[in-house]
Amino acid sequence: METERPRRVGRRIFRSFLMILLALLIIMVAFQAVKIAAGTSTPILVVVGPSMRNTLMEGDLVFIAHVEPEDLRVGDIIVFHPPNNPEGLVIHRIYSIEKKGETYIFRTKGDNNLNPDPWKITGDLIEGRLVWTIPRLGLLSKIISPPVNYFLIILLVIIIVAIDVKSQREEEESSPISEA
């Protein structure tokens, strides 16, 4: 009977890890679904600079959705790749729009900046238009960034497994023991 208990505990731990993996898989699938629904590879961002202050604050979590260039208007807040840094992302307001042939050219400006941005943006550089904001929620990403996030994940896994094993032991202790 004693060798049976470690097996049950081992199975319980294995089952807990499977549940954690399943939860992570669900989160990843959900994020992919959000990307598809928003029509952009970066549907969720955290505001990191002061250039949009008073409209958007550092640490605000913003959600964006794909938009066609012809549907944009002066005053819309967009997320785009600046021409001088194709890997970077900027969130600014459209300051002016001009059309050259079939191409829309956008000038942008941060609400907290005195002057418009020095570049011109074409539709292919735009990731999307601001849909909604959750104030300050993005600050969690500063707190829960590497290496802190790894420690928190490990701690969470340990807590889940410990609670699961403890509840298994309590079930075993409270159930009547029958001897054959």
- 29 and 50 housed in the same domain: no
- 32 and 58 housed in the same domain: no
Alpha carbons 81 and 177: distance in angstroms, whole number: 67
Instruction: Tally the C-alpha atoms within 13 A of residue 21's C-alpha that lie toward its C-beta.
Output: 6
Closest listed residue to residue 31, CA positions, set 78, 63, 79: 63
Instruction: Tell me how many domains the chain contains.
Output: 2
68-123 confidence digits (pLDDT tens): 999 999 999 999 999 999 999 999 999 999 999 999 999 999 999 999 999 999 99
Average pLDDT in the 159-172 region?
79
- 126 and 70 housed in the same domain: yes
- Is residue 180, in this structure, part of any structural domain at all? no
Give the pLDDT score at 72: 98
Q: Phi first, then psi: what are they for 55, rounded to 5°?
A: -90, -55
Q: Report whether pLDDT(11) > 90.
A: no
The residue among 23 and 103 whose pLDDT is bigger is 103
Domain that includes residue 74, residue range: 44-137
Question: What pTM does this model have?
Answer: 0.75
- 109 and 156 housed in the same domain: no
Give the pLDDT score at 14: 86
Name the token pair of 42: 């970066």
- 127 and 154 housed in the same domain: no
126-149 confidence digits (pLDDT tens): 999 999 999 999 988 877 888 877
